Amino acid sequence: MKNIPVIMIIFGGSGDLAHRKLYPCLFNLYEQGLIHDNFAVIGTARRPWSHEYLREQVSDAIHETHDQVDENEVKAFASHFYYQSHDVTNVEHYVTLKKLAQELDDRYSAQGNCLFYMAMAPRFFGTIATHINDQHLTGSGFNRIVVEKPFGHDLVSAEQLNKEITASFDENDIFRIDHYLGKEMIQNIMPMRFTNPLIKNIWSGEYINNIQITLAERLGVEARGGYYDTSGALRDMVQNHIFQIITLLAMPEPKDLSSDSVHQAKQELLKSLIIPTPEEVKKNFVRGQYLGSDTTFAYKKEPNVDPDSTTETYVAGKTKFTSGPIAGVPIYFRTGKEFKEKKTRIDIVLKHINNPYGQAHSNNITIEVDPESKIYITINGKKIDEPGIRREDLTYAFSKEEMAKVPDGYERLLHDVFVNDSTNFTHWSELKRYWEFIDAVEDAWQKENEAGNPEIAQYLPYRMGPKEADNIFESPTEHWIYE
Ligand code: BG6
């Protein structure tokens, strides 16, 4: 692998994301030689840490995520880390930061290449972008910026943030990260769709009855009540992760695998995304909040959550496109906290066909993303010793050894940033379209809230979410495949 010279500045260097994901994943890339001699990382945050203390934190982060490590490698890697105490609202601090970045650029021969990573509370993204621009922090080589989610709170704020970032960075240098796009099975959607005649040829409204996407979580909002109460499931999970999955499932075949072609195919599809009317939101969407149990809080009693909150911890809904291979096919989705189990899966439900055996089982394609990674097709055959049709799964799965080789999504995506591959990042025009959809739903809900009659289903924790979500289907023969 080519050694890429770069100075990386992480805003949020003392935070959870940096500790759990960025430091361990950077270490893996270091071990593979992608970043090696000519790189340095500046971690910034308000706390008054020293370089040495940050290096200890980096070393701890690696030990916490790796069973076996070469201590000399860890030490050598950590020596590339520098800490700068930084208040993102203080202009002076950017001057100091710039000076340190320049010194390190000289020391490490980083060729003026800079990578900025926004890994802190999203309310500061705009301020950081503005000061990167007015204090001229960008270097003389490449300049890239990675922006964590949420990118805005609605379309207007996303547009504002985008304006602030594009003052210093070209669209091609902005990496809006969505960790779902780094997941093994999400990256398997395109090859599955486009390399198998068996699947590619049935990918249309003629054969597909509906598609169902479930992002279920066992955990509640935990310590994130403050953030979550201003967000809710629709913004937190649908606006990004679910819409990315929908786009990969519904987009036309790209002309090749270049980032431009993939984004072109996505954008072509998204033009035809149907934005729901308030009546459609009422009919096709369900929002819910989890109740408490003997040992857990109800959502409204969680720390930092408004006791009268109307924020949803669950949402189910429907979407459709007017063009693309599955134009007109309903795509149902749902996501929620405090489900019975963690489960991310996609079910492609095929239409029944007339057959001389009478009733057969449905023939579906399922992609399991988490916690297991596999694709299976439920298939009909004959029963051995009695008349009738038996159902079995044809499974595409990985061995334990193969699974152990699957890199963390963050490692993959960081790698892509270093090698300048934007394929698995969100382009502005895609994000914009997602927000248009989300805003339409949020506005309709907001009106219901203001009218004093919000329909927010209260659901029991650790089950399957509100039963109201069973009624969003277009036909009475449709139902959730994963129950
Ligand atoms: C994040 C959300 O983007 O995704 C969290 O903010 C959620 O609320 C998480 O828990 C789920 O990610 P994963 O990879 O565990 O499915």
- DSSP secondary structure string, 130-147? HHHHHTT---SS-EEEEE
Measured in angstroms, how far is the CA atom of residue 125 from the centroid of ligand 1?
20
- 210-237 pLDDT tens trace: 999 999 999 999 999 999 999 999 999 9
Question: Chain-wide mean pLDDT for the chain?
Answer: 97
Q: Is residue 477 part of a domain?
A: no
The pLDDT of residue 2 is above 90: no
Q: With 0.75 as the threshold, say if the pTM is over it.
A: yes
Q: Which of 176, 207, 226 is the endpoint of a domain? A: 176
CATH number, domain with residue 213: 3.30.360.10
Query: What angle is formed at CA 384 by the lines to CA 381 and CA 390, rounded to 5 degrees?
Result: 35
- Contacts of range 165-168, beta carbons closer than 8 Å, 24 or more positions apart: 165/125, 165/129, 167/129, 167/130, 167/133, 168/129, 168/132, 168/133, 168/137, 168/138, 168/143
Looking from the CA of residue 149, the nearest atom of ligand 1 is 3
Q: Is the pLDDT of residue 332 over 80?
A: yes
- At residue 315, does pLDDT exceed 90? yes
Tell which residue, 435, 447, 442, has the closest CA to residue 160: 435
pLDDT at 38: 96
Nearest CA to ligand 1 atom 8: 236
235 and 169 together in one domain? no
Is 479 part of a structural domain of the chain?
no
Task: For residues 296 and 107, give the distance between their C-alpha atoms in angstroms, rounded to a whole number.
Answer: 53
Examine the domain organization and report whether 170 and 191 are in the same domain.
no
Q: pLDDT > 90: what percent of the chain?
A: 98
> Which strands make up the sheet holding 174-176, listed edge to edge?
81-85, 39-45, 6-11, 114-118, 143-147, 174-176
| Domain span including residue 286 | 181-472
Ligand 1 center from residue 56 Cα (angstroms): 27
Q: Coil, helix or strand for 354?
A: coil
Do 163 and 190 fall within a single domain?
A: no
Say whether both 160 and 90 belong to one domain: yes
Question: How far is the centre of ligand 1, averaged over its atoms, from the C-alpha of 79 (Å)?
Answer: 31
Residues 464 and 339: their CA atoms lie apart, in Å, by: 5
Considering the domain architecture, whether residues 56 and 164 belong to the same structural domain is answered as: yes
Q: In this structure, is residue 199 part of a structural domain?
A: yes
Domain boundary residue among 176, 203, 230?
176
pLDDT band at residue 358 using 50, 70 and 90 as cut-offs: confident
Annotated catalytic residue: which of 241, 263, 415, 427? 241
Alpha carbons 22 and 357: distance in angstroms, whole number: 55
Atom of ligand 1 nearest to the CA of 224: 8
Residues 277 and 172 reside in one and the same domain = no
* pLDDT band of 185, cuts 50, 70, 90: very high
By DSSP bridging, strand 343-350 and strand 208-216 are antiparallel
Residue 52 has pLDDT above 80, yes or no: yes
Our count of domains for the chain comes to 2
Answer yes or no: is 1 within a domain. Answer: no
Mark which of 176, 209, 233 sits at the end of a domain: 176
Q: Is residue 482 part of a domain?
A: no
167 and 197 in a single domain? The answer is no
DSSP secondary structure letters along 114-125: EEEEE-S-GGGH
What value does the mean pLDDT take over residues 282-304?
97
Model confidence band, residue 424 (pLDDT cutoffs 50, 70, 90): very high
Mutation to probe ligand 1, out of 241, 245, 334 (largest number of atoms < 8 A from CB):
241
Write out the E strands in 139-280: 143-147, 174-176, 208-216
Question: With 80 as the cut, is the pLDDT of residue 345 above it?
Answer: yes
Residue 45 inside a domain? The answer is: yes
d(CA 363, CA 429): 36
Please confirm, yes or no, whether 36 is among the known catalytic residues: no
Q: Please tell me the distance from the alpha carbon of residue 399 to that of residue 403, in angstroms, as a whole number.
A: 6
- In tens, the pLDDT along 117-157 reads 999 999 999 999 999 999 999 999 999 999 999 999 999 99
Whether 195 and 170 share a structural domain: no
**Hey, whose CA ends up nearest to atom 10 of ligand 1?**
217
Atom 6, ligand 1: residue with shortest CA distance: 236
Does 28 fall in a domain? yes
Give a yes or no: residue 164 inside a domain: yes
Is residue 453 over pLDDT 90?
Answer: no
Q: Two tokens at 309? A: 């909150």
For the record, the structure tokens of 352 come out as 């029944």
Separation of 179 CA from ligand 1 center, angstroms? Answer: 9
Compute the distance from residue 353 Cα to the ligand 1 centre, in Å. 38
240 shares a domain with 127 = no
Task: Report the pocket of ligand 1 as residue ranges, CB < 6 Å.
Answer: 149, 179, 217, 236, 344, 370
Please check whether residues 148 and 190 belong to one and the same domain.
no
Q: Is the pLDDT of residue 368 over 90?
A: yes
Residues 438, 400 within the same domain: yes
Confidence bin at 352 (pLDDT 50/70/90): very high
Residue 120's CATH number: 3.40.50.720
pLDDT of 335 over the 90 cut: yes
Do both 157 and 213 map to the same domain? no
Q: Give the model confidence (pLDDT) of 58-112 as tens digits.
A: 999 999 999 999 999 999 999 999 999 999 999 999 999 999 999 999 999 999 9
Q: What is the pLDDT averaged over residues 314-322?
A: 98
